Amino acid sequence: MILSQPRESGALFFKESALVTVVLGAQWGDEGKGKIVDYLSERADIVCRYQGGANAGHTIIEGGRKFVLHLLPAGILRPNTMCIIGGGVVVDPAALLDEITQLEAAGISLDGRLFVSHQAHLIMPYHKLLDSLHESQADRVKIGTTGRGIGPAYVDKVARVGIRIVDLLDRDSLRQKIRANVEDKNRLLSKIYEAAELDVDAIVDEYVAFDQRIDPYVKDVSVVLDEAMRSGKSIILEGAQGTLLDVDMGTYPFVTSSNPTAGGACTGLGIGPRAIDHVIGIVKAYTTRVGEGPFPTEILDGEEQTKLREKGDEFGATTGRPRRCGWFDGVAVRFAARVNSVDSWAVTKLDILSGMDSIKFCVEYEDGHRSYKHFPSDSRILSTVRPVYEELPGWKESLDGVTHYEDLPKQAKDYLKYIESFTEVPVSIVSVGAARNQTMVLRS
């Protein structure tokens, strides 16, 4: 058979030297992916974003400075790391230019280091307007979106009427496409939402100006990555949001509009699945969720939840919204391990659990009629189940100054071992604070 013949080029050729790692959230997002990607990017040649939009807030502390990135990959703070925004991302021109300006003002050069896929779809002004109007309707199910136009942009993408970066190259065609879209959206705005109509020419002028600024960064990133893998580069593929917000695998309809799961890395960047060597799942030592939707392990005691939220600074980097807080959900995380083929965990915010007498760990759900050892696909079921907890001993010691695994309290190490044994996935990284040096690597 042809497939059994040795090959001198392609994936099997560069596989021995290239290292491609997917880093993704294994809960409902906000797991600390930005910090972990930033840490790993010190030894990476390329870091790529493969889906989502400017609703993904990554907070990174570098040199005493705080950077909140929404579109640019976390590796952008490393001067020798190339960063790529893939075609699976929906790009807000205003947000992208703001971040580029912010970094340049901080003395961080992007020349030859930042590339954006020509296949990426653009978020248009009508996407943002429709997002906020739709979410504000009293008779609609509240999803808890950020109102940044992400969902409507993906709707147009799937409906095959989206505007891509490559469309900016032909001004006449761009004007025709925008005019057709705006005329369609204006009918919706005026007749359904009774809102003011949009100006076609103003939108065209805005995006032509954006094209002039973004042109040096536009590339066919599939080709760039293929060449990088053939030359043995180390590449990180960075997901936004989290597994439980995946539009296919998550708590639908309370999800994002793209695929944060590992499969989304392939479609969002134009690479094949055999190119991926390792998948790191990021989990908090507890669980949080922003917005609406079921959350089985949510702490219902208001005072206890507030205490955990404030100690963990659980407020959205993008919106400032307070996050809902709860105990570690082993059922959900084991589900994430399965659908992503997770090879190892990076556990973040272990330090936030210091000072607790005991820590709850959800091992299954029940609803009075049956127990659930596997994550239900029906959000209605998930919203009615009760968590079954295993209580593990806590620890009193602060972890602020701990930089080696051996120096962790025994109970903290036991907690990590319990995560490993329950999910059948080893822990490779532990974070005990926001700074880069508050990161421990347990396994290569």
Q: Considering only CA atoms, give the Rg of the chain.
A: 22
The DSSP call for residue 55 is T
Active-site residue flag, 278: no
Helix/strand/coil for 101: helix
Residue 229 structure tokens: 């893998």
For 23, 116, 153, 236, the CA distances from 40, given in Å and listed in that order, are: 10, 21, 31, 8
Handedness of CA 377, 383, 386, 392 (dihedral sign): positive
Cβ contacts of 138 within 8 Å, gap of 6 or more: none
For residue 143, count CB atoms less than 10 angstroms from its CB and return exposed for 0-12, middle for 13-18, buried for 19 or more: middle
Using DSSP's 3-state secondary structure scheme, residue 91 falls into: strand
- 30 catalytic, yes or no? yes
Phi, psi for 145 (deg, rounded to 5): -75, 165
What whole-number distance in Å separates Cα of residue 407 and Cα of residue 400? 11
Q: What does the alpha-carbon distance between residue 289 and residue 100 come to, in Å, rounded to a whole number?
A: 29
Sign of CA dihedral 365, 370, 373, 375: negative
Of the candidates 30, 38, 226, 343, the residue annotated as catalytic is 30
Where would I find the beta strands (DSSP E) of 286-368? 287-289, 324-326, 328-329, 344-348, 358-366
Considering the candidates 45, 58, 246, 343, report the single residue annotated as catalytic.
Answer: 58
Comparing CA positions, the residue from 77, 42, 43 lying closest to residue 58 is 77
Q: Please give the positions annotated as active site.
A: 30, 58
